[in-house]
Amino acid sequence: MSGKVLVAGGGVICGIGLHLDACLGSFASMRPGMAPMQYLRSVHKDTFPVAEVKADNDTLAQMAGLPKHTSRTALLSMIAAKAAWESTGLGYLTNYRAGFISANTVGGMDKTEDFMNEFLPDNAKGHLRGVVNHECGAVTELVADALGVKHHVSTISTACSSAANALMYGSRLIKNGIVDVVIAGGTDALTRFTLNGFNTLMILDQQKCRPFDDTRTGLNLGEGAGYVVLVSEAVAAKLPNGAWCSLSGYANANDAYHQTASSPEGTGNYLAMKGALEMSGVAASEVAYINLHGTGTQNNDVSEGTAIVKLFGQDVPPASSTKSFTGHTLGASGGIEAVFSALAVKEGIIYPNAQFTTRMKELPFSPVTTFSTGNDLPHVMSNSFGFGGNCSSVIFSR
**Strands across the sheet with 224-232, in order?**
152-156, 98-103, 181-188, 224-232, 5-14, 245-254, 390-397, 379-385, 289-291, 319-320
Task: Tell me if residue 391 is catalytic.
Answer: no
CA 44 to CA 76: how far, in whole Å? 23
Beta bridge partners of 376: none
Write the CB contacts of 368 (distance below 8 Å, at least 6 apart in sequence): 318, 319, 320, 350, 351, 352, 353
CA 335 to CA 328: how far, in whole Å? 12
Write the CB contacts of 120 (distance below 8 Å, at least 6 apart in sequence): none
Cβ count within 10 A of residue 272: 30
Beta bridge partners of 227: 11, 185
Which is it for strands 289-291 and 319-320: parallel, antiparallel or unpaired? Answer: parallel
Task: Tell me if residue 293 is catalytic.
Answer: yes
To the nearest 10 degrees (0 to 180), the angle between helices 298-312 and 267-280 is 40
State the catalytic residue, choosing from 23, 160, 209, 391: 160
Write the CB contacts of 106 (distance below 8 Å, at least 6 apart in sequence): 73, 136, 188, 189, 191, 193, 194, 330, 331
State the catalytic residue, choosing from 23, 134, 136, 293: 293
State the catalytic residue, choosing from 14, 328, 379, 391: 328
Task: Tell me if residue 328 is catalytic.
Answer: yes
Helix, strand, coil percentages for the chain (3-state, nearest 5): 35, 20, 40
30 torsion bin: left (phi>0), alpha (psi -120 to 50), beta (else):
left
- Reduced to 3 states, what is the DSSP secondary structure of residue 247? strand
Element (H, E) at 102: strand 98-103
Residues with a catalytic annotation lie at 160, 293, 328
